[in-house]
Structure 1
Amino acid sequence: MRGLIGALLLAALGGCSTSPISADIADPVPSTRMYAFTEKNAAQLVVTRDSGIYGAEVRFILHIDGKPAAEFHPGEVARFGLAPGKHILGVSKYMLFGTSRIIESEIDMKPGDLVRRRISQHGSSFSFTPTAY
């Protein structure tokens, strides 16, 4: 019985984290949840949301220059065409009772750039960071 309880506890703790997923194997965000910056441009932004069961009911919304650009579910990736220059990226959580705070960062795109970002969840907080995935 103790072994079963221990196994269930480990499974529950493992479910409380998300894992990075390669943009090459992540599912594309469906076109119905792509809102802006979908055309090809001189530079490309690739955003991937971690995979995992934890936080699966929470949707993340990516904002580019103050405009909603896409809504992400776990294990999804989206590609955005951006013009060269500075852009403000923001991520917020959409929950049953509204949206969370927005985490923002700035990128400076040059022609031909490929910039990768990762959305991950840690307990009740989340992060939006550069990634090699």
Structure 2
Amino acid sequence: MRILIAAVAAVVLAGCENTPISADKADPIPSNRIYAFTQKGDSELVVTRDSGMNQGGLKLKFYIDGTLAAAFGQGEVGRFGLTQGTHILAVSDGSALVESEIELAPGQTIRRRISVSMQGFELSPTSL
């Protein structure tokens, strides 16, 4: 019986894992959930949220330099026009906040990934 319970728990937890998705395959964030940085800038920031079941219905708020830029659903991508220089990025689920810093050069595109796990969420560099 213990083996059966452990096997079922493993399957359930595996189903909750998120899967990285490339920006090319992710769905664009609907225009009604993109709030700022929509114009073409000196540089571009591409942010993709993983697909998967973990917190799938929860929209994560994404901030650039303290300004709410978008609300991400799972498997979505947002493209933001930014000026060159240093920017602070943040992701929040309403109770926790994760921040990171980027430095953009003119004409540069930087990619970031929002991933969610049972331990929380993170904003990290990605090649996808």
Taking structure 1 as the reference length, what is the TM-score of the superposition?
A: 0.88
Q: Which of 95, 110, 116 is matched with 1:115 structurally?
A: 110
CA separation of 1:4 and 1:101: change in aligned 2, threshold 3 A: closer
Mapped to 1, the partners of 2:2 and 2:52 lie a distance apart of: 27
Q: 5+ unaligned residues in a row in structure 2: which ranges? A: none
How many residues align? The count is: 128
One-letter amino acid of the structure 2 residue matched with residue 125 of structure 1: G
Query: Is residue 58 from structure 1 mapped to residue 53 from structure 2 by the alignment?
Result: no
Residue of structure 1 equivalent to 2:34: 34
What is the CA distance between 1:100 and its match in structure 2? 1.8
Q: Which residue of 1 aligns with 2:79?
A: 79
Let me know the Cα RMSD of the aligned residues: 1.8
**Among 93, 97, 101, the residue aligned to 1:102:** 97
SS at match of 1:47: strand
Residue identity over aligned pairs, in percent, reads 52
Partner residue in 2 for 1:17 = 17
